[in-house]
Structure 1
Amino acid sequence: MNKSLCSLLVFFLFILSTPAQEKQKDTTAVDSVKTDLTKKGVVIKDVIVEKREEINPLAPSKAAFFSAILPGLGQIYNKRYWKVPIVYAAIGTGVYAYVYNDDLYDRFRTAFKRRKAGFIDDEFYDPNNSGVVPGSPDLSDTALQDGQERYQRDRDLALVVTIGLYALNIIDANVDAHLRQFNVDDNLSMDFKPYLEYNPINANPNYGMALTIKF
């Protein structure tokens, strides 16, 4: 059970760490004018207007807040619908492991306490003579004590893993919202090249290097 829960946590980390960068430029040819107009010797053929998506600085906070209220809601806000089943499968598995181990812990603890009180009517004692050895306890007092300690550890581990998965769900929504607004516009560029210009006074050439940054 311990290895399964740890494997689930690692798998969830791997899935949610999938790169989420997207281009935020919406290049739409609003007006494509092909009119062969002549203006000062320049032929104008196409006019293309680029529409860029505005950055919402509150989007990461909103996504994290939504996922904190309801797991998966932040992923829906980010339009990462494919992550929602993964979120619920991971957290649901953690919750199931917690409930499963907590139930067994309660059963073993109740039986152990009744044994110590002198009763022999617990579910592990075989009061109906139908066990492995009729009339004898199926599990000894030591086995009951070991069992409740084991299931208590597994229950606590399941709780920690579930809380970790819940936190990762919030972190993923926040980081994903940040990356979705990361500017990867093609117009962002840096160009470093030599240049040559002539002095307008004495017509002597001037050499140098030019650094051009486009936004």
Structure 2
Amino acid sequence: MKSKQLLPVLLLLLLTIQLSAQDSLSVENPRLIENPEEAQDLEEEQDYKPYNALAPAKAAFYSAILPGLGQIYNGRIWKVPLVYAGIGIPIYFYIDNDRQYDRYRTAYKQRLAGREDEFAGRISDQGLRSAQELYQRNKEISILVAIGFYALNIIDANVDAHLQQFNVSEDLSLKPNYNLDKFTGKSNYGFSLNFKF
């Protein structure tokens, strides 16, 4: 009876030893570097970029100074036209709504002064007041949208700089791990997900 229980445990142990022996990554012995020139050459050979903690803040600062400059700093030049369209179109609508507001405001003032205006006979006094309110509201919305795109430009530069510093390697693997209880000698069943950084 004991031999029937011992056989699966031995097979499991042999299987785990076999799996752990099949690690594809080999550990190289570290070299001692004595002169600074050799150290600089070794740094140039590294295949990863060192972590720059100030890169997101720098990108956000550049975008705050000049919209789109943070995107250029991050290497995302294709986003610059989107940034300027997002900020420029609401500014265009602000200027257009401001012209229309001034036009209806001038006509309303002329009508109150008893003079002839460009909308005489076509638009009532209430219509002129409503048009002024409409264009005033549209001006305010246009400014809010432009400010929103400006803030989005800064946030995008910051987040993009953060995401560029993640190391996404091709070495993604699934490694089973068998856990034996040291006291009872029985295997524990479960599932775990491990991340190595």
State TM-score, norm by structure 1: 0.60
Hey, what's the Cα distance between the residues in 1 that align with 2:73 and 2:49?
Answer: 16
| 1:70 equivalenced with 2:66 (yes/no) | yes
Deviation of 1:55 (Å) = 1.2
Change (3 A) 1:174 1:214: closer
Deviation of 1:102 (Å) = 1.0
> Tell me, what secondary structure is at the counterpart of 2:47?
strand
Deviations 1:17-60 (A, max 9, x none): xxxxxxxxxxxxxxxxxxxxxxxxxxxxxxxx652111111010
Q: Which amino acid aligns with 1:123?
A: E
Deviation of 1:74 (Å) = 0.6
CA RMSD of aligned residues (A): 2.6
Change (3 A) 1:60 1:189: farther
Hey, what's the Cα distance between the residues in 1 that align with 2:194 and 2:151?
Answer: 43
Deviation of 1:112 (Å) = 0.6
| 1:149 equivalenced with 2:145 (yes/no) | no
| 1:94 equivalenced with 2:78 (yes/no) | no
| 1:124 equivalenced with 2:108 (yes/no) | no
Q: Which amino acid aligns with 1:148?
A: Q
Hey, what's the Cα distance between the residues in 2 that align with 1:101 and 1:214?
Answer: 56
Deviation of 1:115 (Å) = 1.0
Hey, what's the Cα distance between the residues in 1 that align with 2:179 and 2:162?
Answer: 38
Hey, what's the Cα distance between the residues in 2 that align with 1:213 and 1:117?
Answer: 77
Change (3 A) 1:115 1:183: same
Change (3 A) 1:212 1:158: closer
Decide whether the 8 Å contact of 1:105 with 1:147 is kept in 2.
yes
Which sections of structure 2, spanning at least 5 residues, go unmatched?
Answer: 1-44
- Counterpart mapping for 1:125-204 below 5 A: 125=120, 137-187=121-171, 191-194=175-178
Deviation of 1:63 (Å) = 0.7
Structure having the larger proportion of residues in helix: 2
Deviation of 1:191 (Å) = 3.9
Deviation of 1:193 (Å) = 1.8
> Tell me, what secondary structure is at the counterpart of 1:182?
coil
In percent, how many aligned pairs have the same letter? 57
Hey, what's the Cα distance between the residues in 2 that align with 1:118 and 1:99?
Answer: 29
> Tell me, what secondary structure is at the counterpart of 2:177?
strand
> Tell me, what secondary structure is at the counterpart of 2:159?
helix
> Tell me, what secondary structure is at the counterpart of 1:173?
helix
Deviation of 1:207 (Å) = 8.8
Decide whether the 8 Å contact of 1:188 with 1:213 is kept in 2.
no
Q: Which amino acid aligns with 1:149?
A: E
Structure having the larger proportion of residues in strand: 1
Which sections of structure 1, spanning at least 5 residues, go unmatched?
Answer: 1-48, 126-136, 197-205
